Structures are given as C-alpha cells and as structure tokens.
Amino acid sequence: MQHDEYESLDGLGMAALLKSGDITTEDLMRCAVELGRSRGSALNALCYEQYEASLELARNWQPRGAFRGIPFLLKDSGLPSTRFPSSLGSRLLNDTTYECNGTVTNRFEQAGLIAFARSTVPEFCMGATTEAVRNGGPTRNPWGLDRSAGGSSGGAAAAVAARIVPLAHGSDGGGSIRIPAACCGVYGLKASRGRVPMGPLRGEGWGGMATDGVLSLSVRDTAAAMDAIAGYEPGAPYACPPQTGSYLDAVAEAPVKPFRIAVWRSAWNDIAVAPEPLQAVEGAAELLRGLGHTVVDSAPPPIDYEAFVRAHACILASNIVLSVDTRLKLAGKSLQADDLEPAMISGYEFGKTIGADEYIASVNRLHAIGRAMETYMQEFDLVLAPALTELPVKLGELSMQRGAFLELRHRVSRYATFMAVFNASGQPAASLPLFATSGGVPVAAQLVGRFGREDVILQVSAQLERAAPWRGRKPAF
C-alpha cells in the first residue's frame, strides 16, 4: 500500500478495504510504522514505540470489530496496557508497567484497533500544551512547527493530523481531547461523565472530570469508536442515561427535526475572545442555519468562574500529591529537584497545603456548575461556542518551565475558557475543525450537548462535516 492511499482513508475506510481483501492488516501497520518513524519523530509525537512487535502482531491478526485491524495509538496517560509502559510525561513516573489492561484498552482491541506506540503528553497530563522534559522536547503542531499541538492529548492530535493514524486514543479532564483537536484541525469528542468506563484500577479521574475517548479524521470514526468503548462497567461510581442506539447509525442519518442551538460569543469575567475564534463560531452558526436549525444568540449562564478555576486547580494539585507520594513511597526515595518540572513542583507544594474542607468544597463547586449548565440547557439542545479564545499558542507560552502552578492554571483558564467547565458539568462536547486561517492555522468551534446526548452532538457534527468537509485539508511539513 502506498502512503498517499493510506493517508486518504479514515479508519472505517481502511476497515472496508480489509473486509474486501484489497489490503492486509500488515500492509496498514507497515505504513503506520514508516510514518511513525519519519513524521512521528519530526513532530516528537510518539513514545514507547513497539514497531517490530506490532508488525508481527498485525501479521497474525484475526479480524474483529468495526475497525477489523487498523493501526492505533494509546495515549501516554496511564491507561493500563500490558504491552506498553507509561510515564504520564514525567521523569518520576517513567516506565510504569501494568499487570492488566484497562477496560477501555480491551474494548479498543476488541474493536480492531491495534496500538503500536503511545502518544506524547505533558507532565501528569496537566497542560494545554505538550512540552514534557521527559520526552526531550516539545510535541510540534504539523500545521506550524513553532506552534503547540495542544494538550494533554497533543501527541495523539499531531499524529492524526499528520495521517500517521486515522484515529487515536485521547483523554479529557479539562479540555485534553478538545484543545489539541482544535490546535491540530481534527475532530475530538469528550463524552458525558460515566459514558466511558475507567476500570478496573480506578473508578474516576480528577473528581469525575476526566474521561477517555478518541481524536479522529472523521466523525464516523469517532462514532464507531464510541460504540465500541461506551457502556457502563459494573462497580463504576458514575452512570449517565443509557445509549439508545448505535452512534454510527446516528451519524449516517440527518437529524429527524431541527435542533435549537444557543450561540455564545462572550466569555465569563470579560475574558477576551480573539477575532478568529469568533469568526469560526459565526461561520458554524451560518452553516447550522442553512441546515435548518434554530440558532439563537445567548449569553453563558452566570457562574463564579474564578472560583471554578481555583477549584479545578485544587483537584489537580491534590492528584499531583497522590501520584508523587505514591511513587516516592514505592521507590523508597525522597523528591529530587529534577524529578518534576517547575510548575509541577509548585503544584505539589500547593497540593500539600490543601485541606479536606477545600477539596470537598472544590468537588461541590463542580457539582454546582453541573446544575447551572443543565438548568440552562433546558431551553436548548446544543450550545455552539468557541473552542479556544485565540489561535493555537506558540511553543513555550504555556510551558511548565514558566511560572508557578496557579499562575499556569490562570493562563490556561483564559486560553481554554470554554473547555474545563464542561468537564465540571459532565456534559458531552466536541471540537469541530471547520475552519482555518489563510495561513492554514486551524480554527475550531465547539458543540456542547445535554448530559448523555452524545448522539445529538455526533449527528449535527456529521451534518456539518458533510456541509463543510475538512478531511481534504492536510498539513505539509
């Protein structure tokens, strides 16, 4: 198989060729490995590569699932895998191994997705840019090598945009699927809280804010992946309304009725939104009107945004303390200056000051935002909002080498203003790669749905993809 044919296909397109016998799983894996060695290295998007072992696995693969046997990446997020160690982008946690697979890892494999490497992340997956010291340098955006690929699923987004794989695992606890999807011009859906299981080693991440998913070239690939990984796991602490049908079937059909969609053009606390994201929102609104939907300008519901940013930071810092102290205890050592990046050392020190009362109050703050958002959504089926408040930042601007933890969280809160609030509320949300600047820099809008209604987001996303196709845009780097 030639690279140009491989790069033209989404995951289900590859699966169709596998089913017809026109290509083999080994053919696909060989292309992925070759592109991983070249483009993955140039972008610094991959880690824990297992190229030869994965080629052997592909050679003997038995077709299964919707994707039958196509190349895939697991994020270096600590999702358990017996095949791949993990570091969470940290020198302290380097080469963590697992004795079992995560539930989602198994579901990916059952769907016919064959991982051959992990994708890079910032330290502890706590950055809006992927520039971990552990990885020897930044992960670069294929649309502009001086720009961030986003975070924390930055390596995944860069790899999908560069056509190394058509879809890749991501996770999102504060925008970590949607930020890099917006930066790299790919599709990224964050599912509702409780839709995707996190077992068997844990029940939740970051106070219920985090969830697993994928970034993809096409909406239908995300729909098929969601069909594979969604579904309640016995013992899970959260559940959402049950899925009523196949997500893949939903995206194949136009919505049965027009939806009522709120449009947000302003942010909390008068945070500025740059012209390009506002133009993307207006362009998406025009497309939605043309598709027959009712589009209504509206203001976001009032919330104490600064209090939320503090609560989010408290929950993250508490998790830094748990991760660091657990590793130090297992290693029988004390924390050294070069174990963590400066912002994470600051976050660890801050986390040590957080009392039980502030942690519980922080979780309660998330729940209050969930109630405020769901009350607001009673009038609307969807919200259309900016993805980011500005174009993808240049490398170094949000680095963990700059400033204290709380200062970094404050900067991120003004860049990804419309992201983490939906992790707090638990609502599904997707970054739509509909537009780009004249210079080719991606500019995304975001669709947000009612709790448990991924089907509506996917359905409308597919409509927009048909009205303004984005897969033909491919970076040349």
Q: How many CB atoms lie within 10 A of CB 394?
A: 13
Cross-strand partners of 431: 188, 446
Q: Return the axis-axis angle of helices 342-351 and 305-331, rounded to nearest 10°.
A: 100
Respond yes or no: is residue 152 known to be catalytic: yes
Task: Give the whole-angstrom CA distance, residue 155 versus residue 140.
Answer: 8
Phi, psi of 70 (to 5 degrees): -120, 160
Amino acid at 221: D
Pairing outcome for strands 260-263 and 294-297 = parallel
Tokens linked to 199: 């077992």
Q: Which of 81, 148, 176, 318 is catalytic?
A: 176
Q: What amino acid is encoded at 132 in this protein?
A: A
Catalytic residue among 86, 152, 153, 218: 152
Cα→Cα distances 57→11, 62, 259, Å: 18, 10, 45
- Give catalytic status of residue 176 as yes or no: yes
Residue with tokens 């693969």: 61
Alpha-carbon span 140 to 184, nearest angstrom: 10
Residue of 75, 119, 171, 431 marked catalytic: 75
How many CB atoms lie under 10 A from the CB of residue 374? 15
Strand 144-148 relative to strand 140-141, pairing: antiparallel
Task: Give me the helices (H) in 147-218, please.
Answer: 154-161, 178-184
Chain centroid to Cα 77, Å, comes to 11
CB atoms within 10 A of CB 13: 17
Q: How far apart are CA 255 and CA 455, in angstroms?
A: 10
d(CA 151, CA 131): 9
What is the end-to-end Cα distance of the chain in Å, rounded?
A: 22
- Active site positions, annotated: 75, 152, 176
